Structure 1
């Protein structure tokens, strides 16, 4: 290690307990996104955003920008990623702190994370908002996704200050709202002009790997239409008024989805070197029928399909894959007269965008180098789920995800993060900030 690297690492280790205590404070401040879960447990992000502002204030930034996004104010971006006209942000502000460097021409680096968490759900044996530390783990909703990463980032900035490191470029720290419901907080961030040319690091849970891309995610709902009728009687022809079983058609559509998803396995457009599994069509929910004695008049199938940056449309969204799936749904039974006269109805629920940063960009290579310098075997591995990357990349900021924790335990009961991983990420983030900001 160089003398400076050693000094930074020692500063991280000296304040390790402070960083973990900071994480506990974040976990004990509920911030369940209002668009998910039982209304009784909804908290919104306002409380934890106030805490972020307080914690950042203690690190002595040069300025703050705190504002509540507005769907009306972002309507000019309605054709692109991250816009949802029904989202309301009262009491849910974005928070951005700027630490100015010594050289106004050196640009800026941004650390960006989201403050919202998903609903608690059931099955917990730990207190969801207790922040308990047990056997080297910190438990709580949002520990992996992604308050652990944000605690590491704040700990890294504190360690740089303790080590006497002076940055040449500006450092931005952004905590945005609404990521779990589509990313409108990040849309507001880039629309307001908070774009860092040196790069953006999103400390999502990557198991300490460096993720230079994430997949896009489509949620779709297709309703197959039938005609109700007594299920125990001989059916007349539908042309004569007989019943039509929507569940039977739904089964055929499920088979068509499975066949197309299998074909994607060998499709280069559905695969990427940094993603271990191909894009797929996954059925998540099925609803159909009214009574046990009646043929179903409708069958609703809700599905999830992923896409890669190579298939982004002209708006930066998944229009190419949407059209592919719409054609599949329209033609899964091409000879069927009932379906020609009563075609399935498709409704798109979410289109969460994707993004990719070049492997040789400095924000990628220097983060990997920082990990190597402290003995962490980080690899390049993309995010298989959606994260806030695409909007910042499209705005001109090369973006990666790097953070502690495993995304596999996010959104689950007894979500946790390893204390060792939090401190390892803190070291890497501190060294990367010092390197990229000069």
Structure 2
């Protein structure tokens, strides 16, 4: 049984603590309040609490119960995306129960996972004294912007365990693959001049036209050479997302900038892809006598794949009754996997509710999620 009042109280407290993570400093917030709340609930249960400072106001939580060479990490991020309160039907920072749903910013992505974990731990009671391998609750910062929280953990080589489950909203279906993501900018510096005489300058838009052609060719090549049937879109994608250049029709364009994203499949190396892009684009700069820069808008996130034969995948499939699948969105999974852990993405709620007004989690998903998380702890830590 779940203590519904306690679950609701915890989720309400987490949602009431704003922790927006954003690349815009005007919107960015600290996550310390959320982390300290989690610590205050876990410490009385016997967990050793460690707060890792990542940046000013940005903190990771590593809460550990028990010791040993194996064990299980239950991981979630503490931040949310920004929101537009005027588009919500209720206060995004106040938990609202309606239509058998809990509404609030982060209810599904992904503050709702932490009360699930705590309810699973509460239900173990005195069994916790019999842990043979450590149980680690991990709470990270800035997943929604830079993933710097998880990157700091990876750089520190922590935490160490045998298994890791990241509770992103998947309707409690096990996810063992997702694509990576690169967000890149191409900046071309031309030379402005009077449009009546093209020889007076170097038109950055002309050069960018050829860059666009080269990127479209690269996109076709990626689709032709890479395929993974485990994804609904089974090839790498390259999206031309934003372009701006020049300032007036009667002036040679002196600068042009393009932003695009590239989503590689598992097994594709981000550094190699960027090197390939540079090799393709540099001849354009040489041809038009215009300096060209390829710069990353974010630090790339690797694609992720946990082998189908993984012990953790098999256990999750058994507990949920669902075959492990793939998703289109990126997570912290590759960073935890690189620490040597079998890693899976699985949590309550639907990604369809994330990043939009009136975010909610279905109440009927809570109890099954608690039971599955409790079973994971029993199977992997006892």
User: CA contact under 8 A between 1:61 and 1:97: conserved in structure 2?
Assistant: no
Query: Could you tell me which residue of structure 2 aligns to residue 183 of structure 1?
Result: 147
Residue in structure 2 matched with residue 365 of structure 1 by the alignment: 314
The question of 1:46 aligning with 2:32 is answered yes
Question: Which string of whole-angstrom CA distances, capped at 9 and with x for unpartnered residues, describes residues 37-92 of structure 1?
Answer: 461x443101111111112234x1241112313xxxxxxxxxxxxxxxxxxx1332
Partner of 2:253: 296
**CA-CA distance at 1:179 after TM superposition:** 1.9
**Corresponding residue of 1:394:** 338
Q: Say which SS state the counterpart of residue 117 (structure 2) adopts.
A: helix
1:80 maps to what in 2? none
- Conservation of the 8 A alpha-carbon contact between 1:288 and 1:298: yes
Matched residues, number: 379
Q: Does residue 1:212 correspond to 2:162, yes or no? A: no
Asked whether the 8 Å contact 1:20–1:419 carries over to 2, the reply is: no
Q: Retained in 1: the 8 A contact 2:267–2:303?
A: no
Distance 1:195 1:164 in 2: 20
Closer, same or farther: CA 225–421 of 1 in aligned 2, 3 Å? same
Matched with 2:329 is 385
Tell me the residue number matched to 2:23. Answer: 36
Question: What is the Cα deviation at residue 281 of structure 1?
Answer: 0.9
Identify which of 84, 109, 120 aligns with 2:83.
Answer: 120
Residue of structure 2 equivalent to 1:84: none
Match of 2:349 among 370, 393, 405: 405
C-alpha separation in 1, matches of 2:56 and 2:104: 26
Structure 1 residues 48 and 421: CA distance shift in structure 2, 3 A: same
After TM superposition, give the deviation of residue 121 of structure 1 in Å: 4.2
> Within 5 Å, which residues of 2 pair with 1:166-205?
166-205=130-169
Q: Secondary structure at the match of 1:222?
A: strand
Q: What does 1:231-242 align with in structure 2 at a 5 Å threshold?
A: 231=195, 235-238=196-199, 241=200
1:274 to 209, 225, 230: 230
Alignment partners' CA distance in 1, 2:264 and 2:220? 15
Equivalent residues in 2 for 1:309-388, closer than 5 Å: 309-312=266-269, 318-331=270-283, 333=284, 337-338=287-288, 341-350=289-298, 351-372=300-321, 378-388=322-332
Aligned to 1:422, what secondary structure does the other structure show?
A: helix
Distance across 1 between alignment mates of 2:323 and 2:52: 36
1:22 and 2:10 matched: yes
Contact 1:227 1:297 in 2 (8 A): yes
**SS at the partner of 2:109?**
helix
What is the TM-score of this pair, normalised by structure 2? 0.89
Look up the SS of the partner of 1:417 in the other structure: strand
Match of residue 5 from structure 1:
none
Q: Unaligned regions of 5+ residues in structure 2, if any? A: none
TM-score norm. by structure 1 comes to: 0.79
CA shift at 1:199, angstroms?
0.4
1:261 shift after superposition: 2.1
1:149 aligned to 2:113? yes
How far, CA to CA, are the matches of 1:165 and 1:379 in structure 2?
33
Give the CA deviation at 1:105: 4.7
Distance 1:105 1:345, change over 3 A: closer
SS at match of 2:181: strand
